[in-house]
């Protein structure tokens, strides 16, 4: 089998699936709210019941993360996400403003092209299917090749539950013939209405280049500042636990601690007690070598791995008690690879004198590789907390919470989602956590609330036959003068 044959099959599959989804969506667009909610509830329940099996399958297929943590993410992507959107009206009149005589009417977009990552494959599939179908859209999943089987299993399970609950056949699909030309065909197809891309920067750029509405996410190089006013025991527990969660494959995971100098030593000791293993300078150099290629891209073999696995890759021993590895750093930028986003169990550690200096280091990290995404803060000083909220160039500021679970909305009031927008400064259309509202068009039925001004009905004051602007001969003279000036110069 040649690559050419594979590409052709992938392109043809994309065409078949998006066409079938479009046909089914035209029928689904006439479903009432009760029918929509019945189907979504059935899908959420089916996915939730399979959370453990699918989590184990995703970990085994990709080699990333921890099965028990993927189970928790699956439960989040199914039940938790559904609970957050189940009462959102999406059919017919969804809002009425009697004062302004305005009705808002929900309207589906059509077919969603959903690109999903290898790091959070099954949970992202659950999340995207639920919010797409809730808005009465069809959906075609394009999984990362290394997570194809687990994504396909998840999609088929949810599609079967949807049909059993009353959805039309063909509303939900997942590609099994995967190639770049096939994914591009899916995104560019005339029946694709909107693109929902979760993955690497190259994928997101491709999604935004299609000339269609696209929701994409950028990298999350998330700093966490720990102030002298913080509850240090809680901060240490949350930082280590968050960085260790599923071996750090969620994009909102903490990438470097920035510790206020007076409490830095105490924070180190508390983090060690939670399972943080601080590496020495030689070991840090070995990590720099194995985590990134010379061009700065991450070595996929290191993604989502345990500290012990990384130590073996790099050639040094790591105690069994270690949950994460921590490297002491002083620089941020291209000459310090460990200041990049690290989708694995390696955390940077900086010191800063006072919150203003800590603030500056956070901004340096964000500008280097995470504009618009997230920042974490452990503090009790309300002035500092509000300053971080007002000044940081990100759209999620987590206060005294875990980056992983807080920024996806499991432990905070942020909208539950596994697709986190990075806003205009991060190259995305929104800084929101993407949810059903982003996949729903709103029609507005508006009645007159005030009479037009009398001037709107006055006859034109321009005499009949009059001409606005220069005449043809005047235009010719203007052009002639411009040309002569150009020739003189």
Report the distance separating Cα 15 and Cα 13, nearest Å.
Answer: 5
Q: In this structure, what DSSP letter does residue 145 have?
A: G
Distance of CA 172 to the CA centre of its chain: 21
DSSP-based three-state secondary structure for 361: helix
Rounded-to-integer distance, Cα 366 and Cα 427, Å:
14
Q: Is 40 labeled as catalytic in the residue annotation?
A: no
Residues near 131 by beta carbon (within 8 Å), at least 6 away in sequence? 81, 85, 417, 434, 435, 436, 438, 439
CB distance 254 to 239 below 8 Å: yes
Q: Which residue has the tokens 């200041």?
A: 339
Give ∠ CA 8-12-17 in degrees, rounded to 5: 150
Helix axes 51-62, 33-49, angle to 10 degrees: 60
> How remote is the C-alpha of 350 from its chain's centroid?
27
Tell me which DSSP letter residue 79 carries.
I
315-322 long-range contacts, CB within 8 A, separation 24+: 315/286, 316/279, 316/282, 316/283, 316/286, 318/277, 319/277, 321/275, 321/277, 322/275, 322/276, 322/277
SS3 278: strand
Helix/strand/coil for 223:
strand
Q: Which of 40, 251, 359, 362 is catalytic?
A: 251
Structure tokens, 123: 């949970």
Q: Which residues are annotated as catalytic?
A: 251
């Amino acid at each position: 089998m040649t690559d050419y044959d594979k590409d052709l099959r992938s392109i043809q599959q994309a065409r078949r699936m998006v066409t079938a989804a479009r046909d089914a969506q035209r029928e689904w667009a006439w479903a009432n709210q009760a029918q929509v909610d019945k189907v979504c509830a059935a899908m959420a329940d089916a996915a939730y019941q399979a959370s453990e099996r699918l989590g184990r399958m995703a970990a085994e297929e990709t080699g990333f993360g921890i099965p028990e943590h993927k189970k928790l993410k699956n439960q989040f992507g199914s039940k938790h996400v559904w609970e957050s959107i189940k009462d959102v009206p999406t059919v017919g009149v969804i809002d009425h403003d009697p004062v302004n005589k305005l009705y808002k009417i929900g309207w589906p977009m059509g077919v969603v092209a959903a690109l999903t990552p290898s790091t959070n494959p099954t949970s992202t599939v659950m999340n995207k299917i639920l919010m797409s179908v809730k808005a009465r859209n069809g959906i075609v999943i394009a999984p990362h090749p290394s997570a194809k089987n687990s994504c396909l299993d998840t999609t088929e399970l949810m599609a079967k539950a949807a049909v059993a609950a009353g959805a039309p056949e063909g509303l939900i699909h997942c590609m099994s013939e995967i190639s770049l030309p096939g994914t591009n065909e899916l995104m560019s197809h005339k029946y694709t209405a909107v693109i929902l891309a979760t993955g690497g920067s190259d994928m997101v750029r491709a999604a935004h280049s299609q000339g269609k509405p696209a929701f994409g996410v950028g990298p999350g190089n998330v700093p966490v500042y720990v102030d002298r006013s913080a509850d240090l025991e809680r901060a240490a527990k949350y930082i280590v636990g968050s960085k260790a969660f599923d071996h750090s494959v969620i994009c909102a995971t903490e990438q470097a601690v920035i510790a206020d100098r007076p409490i830095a030593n105490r924070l180190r000791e508390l983090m060690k007690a939670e399972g943080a293993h601080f590496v020495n300078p030689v070991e840090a150099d070995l990590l720099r070598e194995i985590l990134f290629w010379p061009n700065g891209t991450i070595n996929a073999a290191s993604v989502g791995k345990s500290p012990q696995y990384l130590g073996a890759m790099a050639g040094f021993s790591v105690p069994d008690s270690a949950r994460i590895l921590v490297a002491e750093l002083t620089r941020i930028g291209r000459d310090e690879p460990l200041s990049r986003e690290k989708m694995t169990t390696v955390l940077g550690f900086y010191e800063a004198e006072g919150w203003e200096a800590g603030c500056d280091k956070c901004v340096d990290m964000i500008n280097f590789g995470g504009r618009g995404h997230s920042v974490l803060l452990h503090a009790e000083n309300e002035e500092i907390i509000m300053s971080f909220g007002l000044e940081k160039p990100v759209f999620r500021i987590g206060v005294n919470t875990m980056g992983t679970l807080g920024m996806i909305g499991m432990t905070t009031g942020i909208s539950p989602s596994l697709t986190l927008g990075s806003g205009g400064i991060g190259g995305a259309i929104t800084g929101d956590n993407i949810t059903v509202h982003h996949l729903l068009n709103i029609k507005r039925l508006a009645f007159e609330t005030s009479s037009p001004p009398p001037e709107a009905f006055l006859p034109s004051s321009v005499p009949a036959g009059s001409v606005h602007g220069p005449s043809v001969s005047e235009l010719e003279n203007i052009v002639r003068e411009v040309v002569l000036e150009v020739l003189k110069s």
